[in-house]
Amino acid sequence: MGMTEAILLTIATAATPLLIAAIGELVVERSGVLNLGVEGMMIMGAVGGFMAANLTGNPWAGVLVAIVFGALTSLAFAFLTLSLAANQVATGLALTILGLGLSGLLGEGFVGQAGVKLTNVNIPVLSDMPLVGPLVFGQDPIFYMSIALVIGVSWFLFTTRAGLTLRSIGDNHISAHALGIPVLRYRYLAVMFGGACAGLAGGHLSLVYTPQWVENMSAGRGWIALALVVFASWRPLRVLAGAYLFGAVSIGQLHAQALGVGVPSQLLTALPYVATIVVLVLISQNVRTTLINTPAMLGRAFVPDR
């Protein structure tokens, strides 16, 4: 395997969890809900996926449990913010803290144990093609799920009646409610979808990226996924491009360290997060573009008949 091929493969692997978590959060925010608990849901998916795969010996059981753990964790957020109208920012932050603590407790007995890796797809002849084969036909199954999610979410939001309804709730939940649209039902489903995606992203970390359980192994990726949604202006295809850009930055700093670049390793490790801040600052300069795409009800609680 050549250096170029190895770098491209690692970029795709690094970008996949960012892409899945961000595309789920995009749907949540399109409904007008701001869930800052992506990091907490990701780490719960990671520990749930690792535990299930380790106990059953089946990585697909891990994938399923990771999705379920993420969705169940998101239900706590949904109940507090949608049913009880709690502050979404504070609840999302609390969810992240809860997820990090609870995952550490659940995974304590699995630290250092061998993981069960989800094997890559292998299509005879096609997977053996130089460069294109491993990149397109030899990836792990969750990579293909991430691409399917981008296509599916884009189709759902912009070509279906339900997608239009979801976006209308995010733009004006009062008018949507007046038209008889079940606002809370749509938002519950959106939040659970976002949680399931975050759980799947966490499962990718513990089943593919590094098939083992390490406390706090999400390492801030949930926050990068949140930034990606803003970076992409709430458009699915832009999330795809952004995820691979941030994946390239993450992998670039690792290769830079391996090559002995004369820069402190701590600074290189911080590079993906510095890039996140720089991108958000640049985006904030273009207020007009941001306002056009931002869901007007984002972060605002809805209580029927209030």
Q: Full-prediction pTM beyond 0.85? A: yes
Per-residue pLDDT of the chain (306 residues; tens, 9 = 90+): 567 777 788 888 899 999 999 999 999 999 999 999 999 999 999 999 999 999 999 999 999 999 999 999 999 999 999 999 999 999 999 999 999 999 999 999 888 888 889 888 887 777 777 777 777 888 899 999 999 999 999 999 999 999 999 999 999 999 999 999 999 999 999 999 999 999 999 999 999 998 889 998 998 899 999 989 988 889 999 899 889 988 888 777 766 666 666 666 666 667 777 777 777 777 666 666 666 778 999 989 998 875
- Identify whether the C-beta of residue 227 lies closer than 8 Å to the C-beta of residue 242: no
What single letter denotes the amino acid at residue 151? I
Return the CATH class of domain 3-120+129-293. Answer: mainly alpha
